[in-house]
Amino acid sequence: MLLAFDIGNTNIHMGLWQAGKWALSWRARTVTEKMPDEYAVLLRNFLNSADIGFKAITGVVISSVVPALTPAFVELVERYMELEPLLVTYEVKTGVGIGIDQPQQAGADRIANAAAAYTLYGTPSIVVDFGTSTNFDVVSPEGAYIGGALAPGIGVAHDALVSRAAKLHKVDIEPPPSAIGRNTIHAMQSGIFWGYIGLIESLVSRIKNELNSDKTTVIGTGGLARLVSEHTDVIDTIAPTLTLDGLRIIYELNRG
């Protein structure tokens, strides 16, 4: 059984690969102050819900964009599972080339997304990952991760607006009845939601033009992928476990 950790700025996505599928998938809040033992208790409870113990795990792969938590999870795995986890960086085998200016700056989650996109969907491809930031990860026709774009996530944009405007309050992130908001709530929803859709469509269009390919596949993943895809036609497919799939693929390349 393979255990995968995708440690993000807002959530930690954990998945258990068993018998050719993600048998279990959980999310927990990212709390940088937590100790390895505290996360071990949380993980044990998740595993116990499926009658699985630490010793049943045969491999672990970690993607982390939170440097403060990386050693905590390495310690957790080494102490409780007696395994050496595979940490995803640009230096491990990924199945894709890393064609950016400074490979050491490539986020582990973006590398995993590129590996999954290349292996599962072919080239060229664009991954739109909806998280704390909205990441656009691009795989070239030649099969290399060549970078992309980073934009504030819709939740970050919403919170920034509310925190800077005394008379504005939090609203549900959803499309309003019309683009012309006739009250403050609908006006905010229009600017935030439809403005975000416009950002997605514009960046995908520009990236496709630079790739100069008529067969580019656009894959959506992350929290808002499904909602966004219902209101735009630029996303071809939704892959909720794309990052975990990338971690699994990278693990298999490096550990046989």
Active-site positions? 109
Return all residues near 114 (Cβ < 8 A) that are at least 6 apart: 94, 96, 127, 137, 138, 139, 145, 246
CA distances from 88 to 13, 49, 200 (A): 15, 28, 27
Cα separation, 207 vs 191, whole angstroms = 23
Say if residues 172 and 189 touch (Cβ distance below 8 Å).
yes
Question: H or E stretch including 15?
Answer: strand 11-18
Residue type, 76: L
| Cα 88 to Cα 77: distance, rounded to the nearest angstrom | 15
